Amino acid sequence: MGVKALKILTLAFCVCFLNSICIAATINGYVSDSSNGEPLPVASVVVKDSDRGASTNLDGYFVIDYIDPGVYTLIVSNLGYESIEMEVLVEAGLYDPLHIEIVRGSMKLEEVEIVVQTRSSGIERIAPVVSAVPVDSKIIRTMPSLGGEMDVLRALQTIPGVKASSDISSALHIRGGSPDQTLILMDHNAVYNPNHLFGLFSTFNADAVKHIDLMKGGFPASYGGRSGSVLEVITNEGNRKKVEGLFSIGMISARGSIEGPLGFKPGSFAASYRRTYMEPIIAMLRESGGYDLPDYYFYDGNAKVNVDLTPRTTLSLAGYWGNDELDFDFGPDDSRFTMGMNWGNRTFSSRLRHALGSKLFVSFGAALSRYRSKWFIENDGVLLDKARGRLYDFSYKSDIEMLGSKDHKLKAGIWVSDYWSMFKEENQDMVWVDVDKKTYNLSAYVQDQWRVNSRIELQPGIRAYYHVRGEYFTVDPRLAVMYQQTTKLRFKAAGGRYSQFINVMSLGDAFSSFDVWFPIDETIDPAYSDQAVLGLEYDADGLEFTAEGYYTDMHNVVSMNPEVDEGETAADAFVQGDGDAYGAEVMLRKKSGRLNGWVGYSLSWTHRTFEETLINEGNKFFPKWDRRHDFIIVANYQMSKNWDMSSSWRYNTGQGYTQALGVFTVRHPGWDPSFADDYDRVVQPGSKNNYRFPADHRLDLTFSYSHTCFSKPAKLIISVFNAYSRRPYYMRLFDTSENPVEVTDAKLLPILPLLAYEVRF
């Protein structure tokens, strides 16, 4: 081939290549709620009569790239909204974003899909994320509630694979993991111990929540820092068009919220507040019956501001503050005991989001999360015990999303956390434990969403960590796969390694009340898990069926050292061991109609082993939250135009407990046989959690009556917790002062009928 011919071919190739770039066009934009202008995550935008489409991110942004110029019809839809069709003119070289608004569906249940939304098939760039459960906040408001308090975490406990340690706990045990193995994010900021009232309620006010994404396992490289699962909560952006609000009053608490446009600049604000008012009720009971009852209250608040600095740049500022306060004065007049306890979270986050053209999306964030807890007990002014703990987490995050081609979507980012934790326990005479530590954790990730062909989609990723204390460097590879068998049937799989550099020490087994968080230091190794998940999803005729199996191998998990009485390092507070969890989950959902809901079942096992003889003599055991069988039915029924009912019924295997082997007598030193009571009775425990309480089942009901009050939308809520008052056992107590030793099985809450009333304005 001559030089002239080669030049001609090269020139022709360059012309064709440049022409393809010039010809290729892009559709990009934002999808929002027509009533308030809030961006809608996980909305689908599909090009009609084609397989091209996209799903919006958390900011409501979407991109459909490498499309020929021309006129197209877009189909836009989202859970609980009416689908729309709109024509758009697509021209090469023009990247102005579309601003699409969709209307909420009718409030009638037959037009609202219920529960969880599975990412649809046939939509381009929808990640093959396994075990991901997006939940709309409107669904939580239809769930049965305790005392009229709509609870995010309790609603999630109706999903197979998500369990509570008891009826009085909103803590999440996901696929055999402990609560500290779940990364909980609120507006991209970590939240620690999200519980009120000893775990009876969660800190998330449902009025402040916009969207929830639960990843039970196999989560992508863009998330890290925990070895089990991820719960991401996004709070309300605020109404961009008008001011609106809500006020609700119940039998134990009141709450209110307000939101609206900023006015001085494009943007919005949202704020909410909640507080209990049990003090007058407690005081009345104390005076009328002479009961020694504690004073208790909790409060929490959320605030968020969004400002559009430019059409492509948005600044978000969000904050949360909450606290629980308990004061208890008891005992005879000549020997009064005073006990106090409080705990709470404070968070603040800022996030700057910017769209660089149509194919590049960047965000920068800085955040502070603080968790503190303390308690004390005095006897006639003498300090018997005092403990306090704090954790400060200063973090910086930066992420970038890039559409490399029509088959690749790249995402990368960095995450820097500056930890300061302290814990001190003392009395009037001495200090037992005094831990004060600072450290840094740096991580970076990169992942690709690769559409191999029309049936197969991959999501490979890798996340690397460097933890300053101990100079730990770890690399976590991850991979997810989706195979689209038909338009209705798809298979998913995921696997990878998940590392954790912070642990929790719970000082009470009965309630989620006093937790102390410690980042690891050079004395203990980081925890990690290796996970594998395989599942399928099938959609047909308004029904959706999902099934998943999983296996998790856990290493360097921690438990509180039962013999800790003094120390300054993490190794003094914890013992380390291994664990595993495996099982299967199925769910069948009916997503529409006057009667809708779901049925779920999980079969699971989880174990722990600590080599040190301090816990169960180094033998394998089941943790308390291990439940072999868990069966749940959730039903929502529109009884009439104004009346709605929601119900949930759950059956699960009984909780494990440690059965006593017997009782033996210990004589006091210098025992005198003439004193018959000069000895102690000691209960000899068996192996840890070697017995189970009977199986537990419970029915919860909620009825709501929608009407108007002074021309404002209002709702009366009647909730019945534990409708047939079955009280499961929670713990076994031994009174060694009695002969023979008296055994008492503590029971949980009886039937609790409660009322609440809310008005919107």
Q: What is the pLDDT of residues 266-278, one digit of tens each?
A: 999 999 999 988 7
pLDDT at 76: 92
Query: DSSP secondary structure string, 265-293?
Result: SSEEEEEEEEEE--HHHHHHHHHHH----
Q: Is the pLDDT of residue 734 over 80?
A: no
pLDDT at 14: 44
Summarize the confidence of residues 541-556 as an average pLDDT. Answer: 93
CA dist 750 and 268 (Å) reads: 43
Contact yes or no for 598/115 (Cβ under 8 A): yes
pLDDT at 17: 38
- CB neighbours of 536 closer than 8 A, spacing ≥ 6? 489, 490, 491, 492, 546, 547, 548
Q: In the structure, what pLDDT confidence band is assigned to residue 19 with cuts at 50, 70 and 90?
A: very low
Strands 182-186 and 229-235: parallel
Q: What is the pLDDT of residues 151-202, one digit of tens each?
A: 888 888 899 999 887 766 777 899 999 989 999 999 999 999 888 877 778 8
Summarize the confidence of residues 3-12 as an average pLDDT. Answer: 46
pLDDT at 442: 96
- CB neighbours of 44 closer than 8 A, spacing ≥ 6? 53, 54, 55, 56, 75, 76, 77, 78, 120, 123
| Span 21-132 CATH architecture | Sandwich (2.60)
Q: Please return the burial class of 370, using the count of CB atoms within 10 Å of its CB with bins 0-12, 13-18 and 19+.
A: middle
pLDDT at 278: 78
How far is residue 264 CA from its own chain's centroid?
35
Q: In the structure, what pLDDT confidence band is assigned to residue 303 with cuts at 50, 70 and 90?
A: very high
Compute how many other C-beta atoms are within 10 angstroms of the C-beta atom of residue 319: 19
What would you report as the CA-atom Rg of the chain, rounded to the nearest whole angstrom?
28
Q: What is the pLDDT of residues 491-526, one digit of tens each?
A: 999 999 999 999 887 765 544 556 788 898 888 899
Average pLDDT, the chain: 83
Q: In the structure, what pLDDT confidence band is assigned to residue 565 with cuts at 50, 70 and 90?
A: low
CA dist 376 and 722 (Å) reads: 34
Summarize the confidence of residues 667-689 as an average pLDDT. Answer: 66
pLDDT at 627: 92
Contact yes or no for 268/287 (Cβ under 8 A): no
pLDDT at 667: 64
Contact yes or no for 712/761 (Cβ under 8 A): yes
CA dist 24 and 358 (Å) reads: 13
pLDDT at 113: 33
Q: What is the pLDDT of residues 401-415, one digit of tens each?
A: 987 677 888 999 999
Q: What is the pTM of this model?
A: 0.86
Q: Is the pLDDT of residue 446 over 60?
A: yes
Tell me the sheet residues that pair with 715: 706, 758
Q: Is the pLDDT of residue 15 over 50?
A: no
Total residues found in the chain within this entry? 761
Least confident of 143-147, 301-305, 431-435, 553-557: 143-147
Tokens matching residue 595? 């009667």
Question: Residues of CATH 2.40.170.20 domain(s) within the chain?
Answer: 134-655+693-760
Q: Is the pLDDT of residue 139 over 50?
A: yes
pLDDT at 591: 79
φ and ψ at residue 4, rounded to 5 degrees: -65, -45
In percent, how much of the chain has pLDDT > 90? 40
Query: What are the Cα distances from residue 427, in Å, to 329, 682, 724, 734?
Result: 19, 26, 46, 28
Summarize the confidence of residues 687-704 as an average pLDDT. Answer: 89
Least confident of 57-71, 229-243, 275-289, 603-617: 275-289
Q: In the structure, what pLDDT confidence band is assigned to residue 419 with cuts at 50, 70 and 90?
A: very high
Q: Is the pLDDT of residue 673 over 80?
A: no
Q: What is the pLDDT of residues 647-659, one digit of tens each?
A: 999 999 988 888 8
Question: Residues of CATH 2.60.40.1120 domain(s) within the chain?
Answer: 21-132
In percent, how much of the chain has pLDDT > 70? 85
CATH superfamily of 134-655+693-760: TonB-dependent receptor, beta-barrel domain (2.40.170.20)
Summarize the confidence of residues 357-369 as an average pLDDT. Answer: 89
Q: Is the pLDDT of residue 747 over 80?
A: no
Summarize the confidence of residues 708-732 as an average pLDDT. Answer: 87
Q: Is the pLDDT of residue 114 over 60?
A: no
Strand (E) or helix (H) holding 16: helix 3-23
Q: What is the pLDDT of residues 481-500, one digit of tens each?
A: 999 998 889 999 999 999 99
Helix (H, G, I), strand (E, B) or coil at 312: coil
Query: What are the Cα distances from residue 210, in Å, to 41, 59, 653?
Result: 10, 12, 33
Q: Is the pLDDT of residue 108 over 60?
A: no
pLDDT at 670: 57
pLDDT at 189: 93
CA dist 732 and 729 (Å) reads: 8
For the ranges 25-29, 385-389, 586-590, the one whose mean pLDDT is highest: 586-590
Query: What are the Cα distances from residue 581, in Å, to 173, 606, 623, 625, 628?
Result: 11, 4, 11, 12, 11
Q: What is the pLDDT of residues 46-76, one digit of tens each?
A: 888 887 888 888 788 888 877 888 889 999 9
Q: Which residue has the tokens 């909305």?
A: 43
